[in-house]
Amino acid sequence: MPAKRGTGKRGRGSGPSHGRPGGRPPVKRTRQNPRPRSAGQRPKGGPLGVTGDIVEGKRAVAEALEAAVPVRRAFVAARSHSQDPAIARMLRELEEAGIEVEEVSRASLDAISYHGAHQGIALEVEPYGYADLHELVALSGTGDALILCLDHVVDEGNLGAIVRSAECAGASGVVIPNRRAAGVGPGAYKTSAGALAHLKVAQVPNMATALEDLKRAGFWAVCATEHAEETLWDADLSGRVCVVMGSERDGVSRLVREHCDDECRLPQMGAIESLNVAQAATVFCYEWLRQTVWAEPAADGLRGAAPEDLG
């Protein structure tokens, strides 16, 4: 276990190795506006016979195709391909890749949608393949790295939003429990805006044990809790860190909190109790980025984001 940190900064090693998958090769397009065939016989299962995971929405679908996520079938709302150039473009790519496309009613898409935000297109993909914790450690390399540990976050939308922030900040992965917590599903795919295609999520049976494993791999475990005396602005969040975020209702559990090396809270001036867990995780991710990467003389690999990209 690393020694308890004082106020001074620790030495920094080399940057993390993220192991991000490359994009799929471009697909040759020959038809201008292929029309998907109507659905035929479907396997038994939920709505539309779906037995895999659902990726919905134009941006999430485009990101999944770019990252070569294994797709079983695609669903498109009737006539949307003739009215939306973006959907027409994705349909051409799906057809060239040999992926079955079914034209269905919007009501059918609503039935498989997490919260009705499918925008006229959805994919049925293979069930998400969770990483092993040791795989995340390997992807982190031996230098500076960030891993987020979520102590029973129960909302899929929050999980996806946290993955999106973690990926943008350069984290190596996210760790979640395998029981009584949100997993990767339609809501997570949607709010991650494609980040799940680039950042690995590991499931573990016991979060306290996972923290001890991460500490043996050189990580410093920092608990985000409103009960901490120290604020995030005064904490040392640089280097090789795993940030522990708690559930929407109860925060970080007592047992998990006891396995952390340090804890801090967000400063607050408003009247409401606290930020949403996904919003708070974003602040912690970017404070790690500021202290660890931005503070270096040359922040290689950083890219700017236009305001319209932040929605």
CATH of the domain at 162: 3.40.1280.10
Residues 94, 186 within the same domain: no
Residues 167, 63 within the same domain: no
Residues 163, 206 within the same domain: yes
Residues 117, 174 within the same domain: no
pLDDT digits (tens, 9 = 90+) for 146-168: 999 999 999 989 999 999 999 99
Last-in-domain residue among 59, 91, 125:
125
For the cut 70, the answer to whether the pLDDT of residue 123 exceeds it is yes
94 in a domain, yes or no? yes
251 in a domain, yes or no? yes
pLDDT the model gives residue 302: 56
Q: For residue 268, count other CB atoms closer than 10 A to its CB.
A: 12
Q: How many residues would you count in the chain?
A: 311
β-strand 121-125 against 71-77: which pairing, if any? antiparallel
Instruction: Print the domain residue range for 68.
Output: 46-125
pLDDT the model gives residue 1: 43
Contacts of 98 by beta carbon, 8 Å cutoff, 6+ apart: none
pLDDT digits (tens, 9 = 90+) for 228-251: 999 999 999 999 999 999 998 889
Last-in-domain residue among 101, 125, 149:
125
For the cut 80, the answer to whether the pLDDT of residue 219 exceeds it is yes
Q: For residue 142, count other CB atoms closer than 10 A to its CB.
A: 13
CATH of the domain at 60: 3.30.1330.30
pLDDT digits (tens, 9 = 90+) for 55-89: 888 888 887 887 777 899 999 988 776 678 888 89
Residues 150, 265 within the same domain: yes
Q: Tell me the pTM.
A: 0.70
Mean pLDDT rounded to a whole number for the chain: 81
121 in a domain, yes or no? yes
Residues 156, 272 within the same domain: yes
Instruction: Describe the strand order of the beta sheet including 220-224 as a list of residue ranges.
Output: 201-204, 173-177, 145-151, 240-246, 220-224, 262-264
